Amino acid sequence: MQPDVHSLRVVVLLLLLTFRLHVRAQELDAEEGLLDLDIVAAEGGHPDEIDENSAGVDAEGELERPPKPKARSARPWMLKLASVPRNCSNTMAASRPTLERLPVKVPPNRVALKDLFVTRDNYNRLGLTGLQYPHSLPPNASAIARRYKWRTCAVVGNSGTLLDSQYGASIDKHDVVIRMNQAPTKGYEPHVGRKTTFRIMNSLWSHRYAHGYAPWDPGFEHLPLEQKTTLIMSRVTVTVYNSMFEFWRKRRPDITLLLLSSRVVSVVRQVLTDYRARLCRAGYGPYLGGNTPSSGYMGVYLALQMCGKVSTYGFGINEVGGEKVSYHYYKGYAARKFGTDVHTFEVETYIIEALQEMGYVKLCKHNYGEEQHARRGYMPEFHKCGVA
């Protein structure tokens, strides 16, 4: 009796599929097979982004109601990969898991250091099309490295906890100071310092800066933008980059632009997603929010790739002894009174704390105590945190 060739093929395919699933399961257990979710703005942006233009702005220029989610036509496989863990272990481990084997430094097989930013040397290779001003890009990664001193870097978040400290002088002593989006320095110098080397701009604020639009008081002169600042544009289309260059090249020729590679965003999101799953398996969570990295977390990750020593400020808790701390340290400037569902700030804070335990960063924040520092007053010994 002749064997059924069709049946044999089916059996072979099933065996191959079973073997592949077994291998994949082992990879996930060992956390070697990490997901690469690269949803760039050119493909419609992240499915969990928000539309801050839908939020109301009060008399002080603060967003007074939560914005609506953006309507996105995300592909099914994107939504599947972007999902967050819900059913966490009922048994909590004695301590939170480490970042071991996660790509704290960009993996060379995924992103070469020379490709952190888009340059004249790599923009064709990175597949960028429609770039109208290639001469506005730095010639190569070496030119970026030579332009700045990288020995010490301060990454300044936007948390209202900054008002409980006076880190300004310590922040300004760093070679590089990285700030987020439209966060102001004027009027808050004792708390956040004056110096600004970089501003990391998300897609929303890249668009607003590219058109000189300040929603609290329309007009580009009201947008926080210190002298000789470099704007790092993240998760934007080439069209927005073109608009940004066109708008500022004559109005502020002292401003420099850098375009962050979407591959870096992918790796940052991967660390966040995988560590969140690791927390869940250890009985921590589930946590609120999506898996879109915040600008602050992007800044910390980027600093790790470029700087000798990294200090972080304005990250972490927004509640002290049951007292709510303001979400942003500033008023006006489209400050928010609430978090957004697209980010998971708790998980990001745990990542930064884990980075500190590994010796990668110095996390400067209050531990409070002593009657919440005499009802949230200043403690001078904390003001020198991060000084090199």
The CATH number for 129's domain is 3.90.1480.20
In a domain, 296, yes or no: yes
pLDDT of residue 90: 86
In a domain, 89, yes or no: no
Contact 216, 222 (CB under 8 A): yes
For the chain, helix (H) and strand (E) counts, in that order, are 11, 11
d(CA 333, CA 214): 8
pLDDT of residue 83: 62
Tokens in use for 351?
A: 């990542």
Q: What CA–CA distances, in Å, run from 97 to 14, 81, 145, 285, 350? A: 36, 22, 34, 12, 10
What is the DSSP code (8-state) at residue 145? H
In a domain, 48, yes or no: no
Consecutive 10-residue runs of the chain (388 residues): their mean pLDDT?
67 70 44 32 37 44 47 45 71 93 85 90 91 94 94 95 92 97 95 97 93 81 93 94 95 96 92 94 88 93 95 80 77 77 88 95 75 48 67
Contact 89, 280 (CB under 8 A): yes
User: Which sign does the torsion angle of CA 213, 215, 221, 222 carry?
Assistant: negative
In a domain, 292, yes or no: yes
Q: Which of 272, 292, 305 is nearest to 178 (CA)?
A: 305
Tokens in use for 135?
A: 């001469």
Tell me the residue length of the chain: 388
Element (H, E) at 30: helix 5-30
pLDDT of residue 335: 81
pLDDT of residue 29: 37
d(CA 367, CA 382): 9
In a domain, 10, yes or no: no
In a domain, 244, yes or no: yes
Range of the domain at 175: 106-382
Contact 340, 49 (CB under 8 A): no
In a domain, 305, yes or no: yes
In a domain, 349, yes or no: yes
Total domain count, the chain: 1
